[in-house]
Chain A
């Protein structure tokens, strides 16, 4: 068992490391320039953007420049064509806002990425799908009382998403270690005993694979957006000394991240 002070210190140091880790997904380092693996808690090479920890949690929103139109006066009944100058289009076209998966989509997505597992709980000898048990509370319409699905990422949704992620990832990791899964999805490039010290490249390759599988993001270890996942694995491994626990934590993080449950 790791002493409390050591775990706390590791967390603080690791958080500081992540604080200087990257935000953006664009590659800032040439893909071929794989950085030298570093020990947990050390500062990454690329400073990136510093996410606030323990500071103001509500950052400023970057607003586009307003569209300005010079008014043209016309009178009622006047059919004379009006010549106006349309403003230039904004430099970046607005993108479609994110939308949360509905419960059926989330259930199906979990099955897809985990190779068939979803959020179930054993009740006696029966395996209950919790997305069905909690469907009403999770906002699924019954078309009697409720006709529209609530797709807000509410606190209730987040709570159950977290529970689903932990349940699925715990089972996935356990079954992969036991070798009872037909095909591993969580630990493919790295084995359950690989650590950062023993096989850093395997760890990074596995993280790469997981990001592609869970988020559809093709990130190389040199990419800035990769840092936070590397950090999560390293620090989870550091405090638990168990690579399986670290992969379980990464798995839960991938599912709880908006890149998984939104589109």
Chain B
């Protein structure tokens, strides 16, 4: 036994170190417990049956062209010095005939010229405007939206929402969490089965799901499987959470390959149902076609409706939205439009198929769709004829119990800055321009909306109400139908 004299600071440091050490030892058991949940998990009683599709618009979108437009009759080049907002619809390669559209014809929701067919789904759409991302960096904005927490430098803090939701609801699906060209994080606080299967495209997904390469023979395969399983049951392996996780993953990989999961995703097939799917989503079976927004949306809907996944994330746009130069005038609008149209068709698809619980509800009634980007682009054009990164943002949600035909919050009419919002009603309550509503004085009811408010609302809906993801904000309850 060693006896030493320590100052109070030294004592506290030592205590912390011991605590961390004990936590590290305990972590093995905790991970093991999580791994066990893989075979027994499932949605808790009372939790609504939800599926999730996260659609990521990569590169930072120009919201003036889509979710947060301005009336070009009001916001003109003449008052630019005051408004600091330059819709510049006339600068686009193909100037739109009606850039500021009253999509519900009651003045409650105006959308820009490049929302494509999503305008036709406005009655099921909830648009959140005037969010703050607190960053101008792509990775930071993206990871903040995925996790609901500001990254540490560029490194994501905490597991991403798809992982949390798959852990909560997806234990019974063969691939609870599927992600195509979108990051996903499991920092070890969620079970192994909830980690996303991430691939770079549909071809890679197919390759994961079907046997390929030279085969050993089924008997040799089983022998190999027995050997590796037996190795993982040895004391050295039992003490390693890494090894246990690796073995679970290996078994899962074997199940995925042997389960015939690839067939529904074989979009090159000429089977009648696949041809119909390609026609509906408007993509071809070429390599480029399988990277298109339509193919991504079709993949997401298929994974959900075939019971393969609980949470699916896709990068919906095939052309980057990071248009700092004159490619803004040619690429930004069409790239967004293709993504929105693909999502609209996905909503139609989900709406058209009854959910198999006999309730008469559709798949769309059980699936929440979230469309987001890392931030918006500047409301003013830069000297290169493009737009740079801007701190504010918008997003949209649809399906499930999301309130349709609703706009939550607003960006300011001077510089499109974030504005406080009454979290219960969704009403913006800033003090500028002419959209003034007095903010409630009660603390905690009003806030600048950030991604974590939205994600917290999704967590609350499925019963995660004790802020286990450590978002430290109240939910944006205005998202849901009353």
Residues in chain A within 8 A of chain B (CB atoms): 7, 10-11, 14-15, 18-19, 21, 23-25, 49, 51-53, 57-64, 66-67, 69, 72, 74, 78-79, 81-88, 94, 97-100, 134, 136-137, 139, 145-148, 150, 152-160, 162-164, 166-167, 170, 228-229, 231-232, 235-236, 239-240, 245, 248-249, 252-253, 256-258, 262
List, in ascending order, chain A residues with CB within 8 A of B229's CB.
Answer: 51, 53, 57
On whether the beta carbons of B230 and A85 are closer than 8 Å, the reply is no
Number of contacts between A and B (CB, 8 Å)?
223
Extra contacts besides A11-B219, A147-B154, A256-B250 (18): CB < 8 Å? A18-B226, A51-B230, A61-B239, A62-B235, A69-B18, A74-B11, A82-B7, A83-B3, A97-B241, A137-B198, A137-B208, A152-B186, A154-B249, A236-B220, A249-B216, A252-B224, A253-B224, A258-B242
- Which of B199, B224, B245, B252 interacts with A152 by CB under 8 Å? B245
On whether the beta carbons of B195 and A83 are closer than 8 Å, the reply is no
Q: Is the interface of B mostly helix, strand, loop or mixed?
A: helix
Query: Known: A63-B25, A155-B253, A235-B223. Contact between A84 and B233, CB under 8 A?
Result: no
Q: List 29 A-B contacts (CB under 8 A).
A: A18-B230, A51-B231, A57-B233, A58-B39, A61-B241, A64-B25, A66-B22, A67-B21, A82-B11, A84-B6, A86-B1, A86-B3, A87-B18, A94-B21, A134-B207, A136-B200, A145-B58, A145-B183, A155-B256, A158-B253, A167-B214, A229-B227, A235-B223, A239-B217, A239-B219, A252-B216, A253-B228, A258-B242, A258-B243
List, in ascending order, chain B residues with CB within 8 A of A83's CB.
Answer: 3-6
On whether the beta carbons of B230 and A19 are closer than 8 Å, the reply is yes
On whether the beta carbons of A256 and B257 are closer than 8 Å, the reply is no
Give Cα A152–Cα B31 distance, bound, in whole angstroms. Answer: 14
Is the C-beta of B353 less than 8 angstroms from some C-beta in chain A?
no
- Which of A162, A248, A249 interacts with B253 by CB under 8 Å? A162
List, in ascending order, chain B residues with CB within 8 A of A167's CB.
Answer: 213-214
On whether the beta carbons of B224 and A23 are closer than 8 Å, the reply is no
Is the C-beta of B273 less than 8 angstroms from some C-beta in chain A?
no
Give Cα A8–Cα B21 distance, bound, in whole angstroms. Answer: 48
Is the C-beta of B472 less than 8 angstroms from some C-beta in chain A?
no
On whether the beta carbons of A158 and B246 are closer than 8 Å, the reply is yes
Query: Known: A24-B236, A63-B29, A98-B240. Contact between A257 and B231, CB under 8 A?
Result: yes
Tell me the minimal C-beta distance from A132 to chain B in angstroms. Answer: 12
On whether the beta carbons of B213 and A23 are closer than 8 Å, the reply is no
- Which of B219, B236, B242 interacts with A97 by CB under 8 Å? B242
On whether the beta carbons of B1 and A262 are closer than 8 Å, the reply is no
- Which of A84, A139, A156, A158 interacts with B4 by CB under 8 Å? A84
Give Cα A14–Cα B219 distance, bound, in whole angstroms. Answer: 11
Residues in chain B within 8 A of chain A (CB atoms): 1-8, 11, 14-15, 18, 21-22, 24-26, 28-29, 32, 35-36, 39, 58, 139, 154-155, 183, 186, 195, 197-201, 204, 207-208, 212-217, 219-220, 222-224, 226-231, 233-246, 249-253, 256-257
On whether the beta carbons of B234 and A153 are closer than 8 Å, the reply is no
Tell me the minimal C-beta distance from B84 to chain A in angstroms. Answer: 30
List, in ascending order, chain A residues with CB within 8 A of B35's CB.
Answer: 58
On whether the beta carbons of B220 and A155 are closer than 8 Å, the reply is no
Closest B residue, CB atoms, query A144: B138
Closest A residue, CB atoms, query B233: A51
Give Cα A25–Cα B235 distance, bound, in whole angstroms. Answer: 10
On whether the beta carbons of A163 and B239 are closer than 8 Å, the reply is no
On whether the beta carbons of B246 and A58 are closer than 8 Å, the reply is no
List, in ascending order, chain A residues with CB within 8 A of B239's CB.
Answer: 61-62
Closest B residue, CB atoms, query A63: B29
Which 10 A-B pairs have CB atoms at the shortest separation, nearest pair first? A23-B234, A153-B246, A51-B230, A136-B200, A170-B214, A163-B213, A159-B253, A158-B253, A137-B200, A155-B252
List, in ascending order, chain B residues with CB within 8 A of A136's CB.
Answer: 200
List, in ascending order, chain A residues with CB within 8 A of B220's CB.
Answer: 236, 239-240, 245, 249
- Which of A15, A81, A82 interacts with B226 by CB under 8 Å? A15
Give Cα A83–Cα B1 distance, bound, in whole angstroms. Answer: 13
List, in ascending order, chain A residues with CB within 8 A of B244's CB.
Answer: 58, 61
Tell me the minimal C-beta distance from A96 to chain B in angstroms. Answer: 11
Give Cα A117–Cα B340 distance, bound, in whole angstroms. Answer: 46
On whether the beta carbons of A84 and B249 are closer than 8 Å, the reply is no
List, in ascending order, chain B residues with CB within 8 A of A170's CB.
Answer: 214
Tell me the minimal C-beta distance from A98 to chain B in angstroms. Answer: 4
Closest A residue, CB atoms, query B238: A59
List, in ascending order, chain A residues with CB within 8 A of B6's CB.
Answer: 81-84
Query: Known: A155-B253, A252-B224. Contact between A98 and B242, CB under 8 A?
Result: yes
- Which of A53, A63, A146, A262 interacts with B242 by CB under 8 Å? A262
Query: Known: A60-B238, A67-B18, A153-B245. Contact between A53 and B230, CB under 8 A?
Result: yes
- Which of B219, B227, B237, B251 interacts with A18 by CB under 8 Å? B227
Give Cα A7–Cα B221 distance, bound, in whole angstroms. Answer: 13
Query: Known: A23-B233, A249-B216. Contact between A61 and B1, CB under 8 A?
Result: no
Tell me the minimal C-beta distance from B443 to chain A in angstroms. Answer: 30
Tell me the minimal C-beta distance from B472 to chain A in angstroms. Answer: 25
Give Cα A100–Cα B242 distance, bound, in whole angstroms. Answer: 9
Closest B residue, CB atoms, query A23: B234
List, in ascending order, chain A residues with CB within 8 A of B183's CB.
Answer: 145-146
Tell me the minimal C-beta distance from B461 to chain A in angstroms. Answer: 28
Closest A residue, CB atoms, query B15: A69
On whether the beta carbons of B154 and A58 are closer than 8 Å, the reply is no
List, in ascending order, chain A residues with CB within 8 A of B245's CB.
Answer: 152-153
List, in ascending order, chain B residues with CB within 8 A of A147's CB.
Answer: 139, 154
Give Cα A92–Cα B388 distance, bound, in whole angstroms. Answer: 56
On whether the beta carbons of B195 and A152 are closer than 8 Å, the reply is yes
